[in-house]
Structure 1
Amino acid sequence: MVEIGYKLACEEHEPLDLVCNARQAEDAGFAFAMISDHYHPWTNRQGQSPFVWGVLGGISQVTADLRLVTGVTCPTMRIHPGIIAQAAATAAGMMPGRFILGLGSGENLNEHVFGDRWPPAPVRIEMLEEAVEVIRMLWKGGMQDYYGSFYTLENAQIFSLPEKVPPIYIASEGPISASLAARVGDGFINPGASAEETLVAFRDSGGGDKPSYVEVSVCWAESEEEGQRTAYERWPISANSGELNRLLPTPTHYEQLATMTTPEEVAKHVPAGPDPEAQIRKIEECIKMGFDHVCVHQIGNRQREFMEFYTNEVLPHFAE
C-alpha cells in the first residue's frame, strides 16, 4: 500500500513551528514526515534553517506514531559521519522504531561553509559510501578505529545506542548514486528530479523491493493564482534543472537564478490552488512510476489549511 507523507521544510519554518507542524501532520493522518537538514535556506525569502537534530528531539516528544526521515542529511563535509552516527542513534532511541536516517551527497549551499572545497560528483559519492561504512561500524558498538580515504576514527564508541539501529536510506537524482543506494542503502529517496529514471536505475542495480520515497511540492491556496504566486516567491528552485541545485554557494545566488525564470515555469512543476484532483494526479504520477512513499511539501505558511484539505479531500482517496 502506498503511504503519503508530509514534508517538514526547515528552510521555511521556525523550530517550534516545525514541532507543531509534525504533531498536526500526525493528527491529520499522514503516515510519515521527512525533514530537511540544511545550514542555509535556498533563498533569503524562505528565511529559516534550524539545526535539524534539535528539532527532532522536540518532535519526538509531541508525536507517538509518526515516522521521521531526515530528507536528507549530508554526512560528508559539514559534519563528520561519526557525529551523524551519534545523532541518529540518539534520535532512534527517542523514537523507537520510527526514525529513518536519510543520507545524500549534499549541496555546495550547505557544505562549503567551513572552507572545504566542493568536490566533483563522483568524489562526493565516494565520500558518501565511506561515510555510510563509518556510521554502520559505530552502530555495531564497542571501541572503533577507522582509517579510510576520507575519514578517521580513533578510539570512538557510541555508548547510547538504541535497541535497534535505524535503517539508512540513500537519496539520488542520478544513476551513480542510485546504484549506491541499491548497494549500501536500506531504501531509496528521490528529492523530486529525474524521479522515474533514478528509480529504474535503483531497481536495476539490485534495489529489489526496498522502500522508495519521492518528494513533490504543492501549494494549497484559496485560488490557483495565489498558489502560483506563493510557489514562485517561496520555492523558485522547483524550476531549476540539472546540477544547479548542487553547485551554487549562497541563497543570494539562488535568488539571482530565480529572476531568470517565471511563475509560469514554476507552475509547471507545482500543483497550486484548491483543486484536490490536481494534487491527486501529481501523487498518482509518482505511484505509477513505482514509488511506494510520496512525501508532499506544502510551500508557504498555510500549513494548517493544507492539512485540513488533505484530511478531507486527498488522503481518503488513497486510503480507498
Structure 2
Amino acid sequence: MTRFGYTLMTEQSGPRELVRYAVAADRIGFDFEASSDHYFPWLEAQGHSPHAWSVLGAVAHATHDVELMTYVTCPTMRYQPPVVAQMAATLAVLSEGRFLLGLGAGENLNEHVVGQRWPMVGERHDMLEEALGIVHKLLAGERVTFEGTHFRVDSAQLWDLPDARVQIGIAVSGEQAVARFAPVADHLVATAPDPDLVRRWSTTRRSMGLPVSRTLGQIPISWDRDRDAAITRAYEQFRWFGGGWKVNADLPTPQAFEAATQFVRPEDVARAIPCGPDLDAIVAAVAPYWEAGFTDIALVQVGDEKQQEFLDLAAGPLLDLLRAAAPAD
C-alpha cells in the first residue's frame, strides 16, 4: 500500500507552528511526517528556518502514531557523523521507534555557515559514504575509533539506543549514486518521479540479496480555494523548486536563489506545481510517483499562511482520494 506523508517545511513556518501542524497531520491520519533540515530558507519570502532536530524532538513528544523522518540531513559539515548518530538515536527513543533517518550530500545553502569550502559533488559523495559508515556503526551500538580521508572519530559510543536499529534512507539522483549507496542504505529518497532511478536502485539491491526497500518521494502542492492566490504564493515562495538538485545544491544564499529564478514566471510555476482547490488535479500530479514505483510520497503544502486551512479543510479528503487512486500493494 502506498503511504502518504506530510512535510514539516522548516523554511516556511516557525517552530511552534510546525509542532501544531504535526499534531494535526497525525490526527488526520498521514502515515509519516518528513522534516526538512535547513539553516536558511530557499527564498527570503519563506521567512523561517528553525532547528529541525529541536522541532522533531517536540513533535515526537506531541504525536502518537505517525512516523517521523528527516528529509534530509547532511552528516558531513554542519553536523559531524557522531553527532548525527546521537541525534537519530535520541529521536528514535523519544518517538518509541517512529523515526527514519534521511541523509544526503547536502546543499551549500545550509552547510557553508560553518566556514568550510564547498566541495565538488564527487567529494561530497565520498564524504557521505564515509560518514554513513560511522553512523551505521554507532547506531549498531559499537564503540568507534576511526581515521579516514574526511573524518576522525575518537572512542565514540551511544548510550541511549532504541530497541530496533534506526533505518536510514539516502537521497540519490543519478546512476553513480545508486551504485554507491543502494548497497549500504536501507531506503531510497528522491524528489522526482524517475522510474529509471527506482528500477536501478531495486535491481542493485536485488542483485546483492538485500531486502526490498522503501522508495520515498516528495511533491509540492499549493492548495487554496482561490487558484490565483495559490499560484501567486507558489511563485513567491517555491519558484526555486524547478532548478533541480544540480543547481540547488551549489547556490549559497537566498539572494542567490532570487537571482537564479528572476526569469521564472508565475505560469511556469503553475505548470510545475498543482495550484488551487481541485483535489483531483493534485491526485493527478502525485500519480507519476506511484507509477514510477515510489512506495512513500510526502506532500509539501506551500506557504505557512494556508497551512492550517489546508489541514482543516483539504488534507483529509485529499488523503482519501489519494489512497483510493494509489496501488493497493
User: TM-score category by the smaller chain?
Assistant: over 0.9
**Separation in structure 1 between the aligned mates of residue 212 and residue 157 of structure 2, nearest angstrom:** 33
- 1:237 and 2:206 correspond: no
Task: Find the counterpart in structure 2 of residue 316 from structure 1.
Answer: 320
Letter in 2 for 1:279: I
- 1:299 and 2:302 correspond: yes
**Separation in structure 2 between the aligned mates of residue 290 and residue 202 of structure 1, nearest angstrom:** 11
Shift in Å at residue 20 of structure 1?
Answer: 0.6
Task: Find the counterpart in structure 1 of residue 194 from structure 2.
Answer: 195
Residues 142 and 179 (structure 1 numbering): CA distance in 2 closer, same or farther, change over 3 Å?
closer
Letter in 1 for 2:2: V
Task: Find the counterpart in structure 1 of residue 36 from structure 2.
Answer: 36
Alignment of 1:145-164 (within 5 A): 145-164=145-164
Letter in 2 for 1:287: W
Task: Find the counterpart in structure 2 of residue 84 from structure 1.
Answer: 84
**Separation in structure 1 between the aligned mates of residue 101 and residue 236 of structure 2, nearest angstrom:** 30
**1:178 and 1:199 in contact (8 A); partners too:** no
**Separation in structure 2 between the aligned mates of residue 127 and residue 299 of structure 1, nearest angstrom:** 32
Tell me the alpha carbon deviations over residues 167-212 of structure 1, each in whole angstroms, 9 at most, x when there is no partner.
Answer: 00001122222233311111011123x6333223322322663100
**Separation in structure 2 between the aligned mates of residue 88 and residue 74 of structure 1, nearest angstrom:** 12
Shift in Å at residue 142 of structure 1?
Answer: 4.6
Residues 153 and 241 (structure 1 numbering): CA distance in 2 closer, same or farther, change over 3 Å?
closer
**Separation in structure 2 between the aligned mates of residue 68 and residue 62 of structure 1, nearest angstrom:** 12
Query: Could you tell which deviates more after superposition, 136-145 or 307-316?
Result: 307-316
- 1:225 and 2:200 correspond: no
Letter in 2 for 1:17: E
**Separation in structure 2 between the aligned mates of residue 293 and residue 81 of structure 1, nearest angstrom:** 26
TM-score after normalising by structure 2: 0.93
What's the secondary structure of 1:23's corresponding residue? helix
What's the secondary structure of 1:184's corresponding residue? coil
- 1:262 and 2:265 correspond: yes
Shift in Å at residue 226 of structure 1?
Answer: 1.1
**Separation in structure 2 between the aligned mates of residue 296 and residue 12 of structure 1, nearest angstrom:** 14
Task: Find the counterpart in structure 2 of residue 281 from structure 1.
Answer: 284
Residues 313 and 140 (structure 1 numbering): CA distance in 2 closer, same or farther, change over 3 Å?
closer
Shift in Å at residue 100 of structure 1?
Answer: 0.3
**Separation in structure 2 between the aligned mates of residue 205 and residue 276 of structure 1, nearest angstrom:** 36
- Structure 2 gap segments, 5+ residues each: 325-329
**1:213 and 1:292 in contact (8 A); partners too:** yes
**2:28 and 2:316 in contact (8 A); partners too:** no
**1:239 and 1:265 in contact (8 A); partners too:** no
Shift in Å at residue 303 of structure 1?
Answer: 1.2
Letter in 2 for 1:122: G
Query: Could you tell which deviates more after superposition, 171-180 or 112-121?
Result: 171-180
Alignment of 1:174-213 (within 5 A): 174-192=174-192, 195-206=194-205, 209-213=212-216
**Separation in structure 1 between the aligned mates of residue 80 and residue 307 of structure 2, nearest angstrom:** 33
Letter in 2 for 1:117: R
**2:11 and 2:38 in contact (8 A); partners too:** yes
Query: Could you tell which deviates more after superposition, 91-100 or 142-151?
Result: 142-151
Task: Find the counterpart in structure 2 of residue 73 from structure 1.
Answer: 73
Shift in Å at residue 53 of structure 1?
Answer: 1.1
**Separation in structure 1 between the aligned mates of residue 77 and residue 48 of structure 2, nearest angstrom:** 21
- 1:251 and 2:254 correspond: yes
Letter in 2 for 1:305: E
TM-score after normalising by structure 1: 0.95
Shift in Å at residue 311 of structure 1?
Answer: 4.0
**Separation in structure 2 between the aligned mates of residue 245 and residue 312 of structure 1, nearest angstrom:** 32
**Separation in structure 2 between the aligned mates of residue 294 and residue 61 of structure 1, nearest angstrom:** 24
**1:181 and 1:187 in contact (8 A); partners too:** no
**2:129 and 2:181 in contact (8 A); partners too:** no
Letter in 1 for 2:149: S
Shift in Å at residue 242 of structure 1?
Answer: 5.6
**Separation in structure 2 between the aligned mates of residue 11 and residue 149 of structure 1, nearest angstrom:** 33
Shift in Å at residue 312 of structure 1?
Answer: 4.2
What's the secondary structure of 2:72's corresponding residue? coil
**Separation in structure 2 between the aligned mates of residue 42 and residue 298 of structure 1, nearest angstrom:** 15
Aligned length: 319
- 1:136 and 2:136 correspond: yes
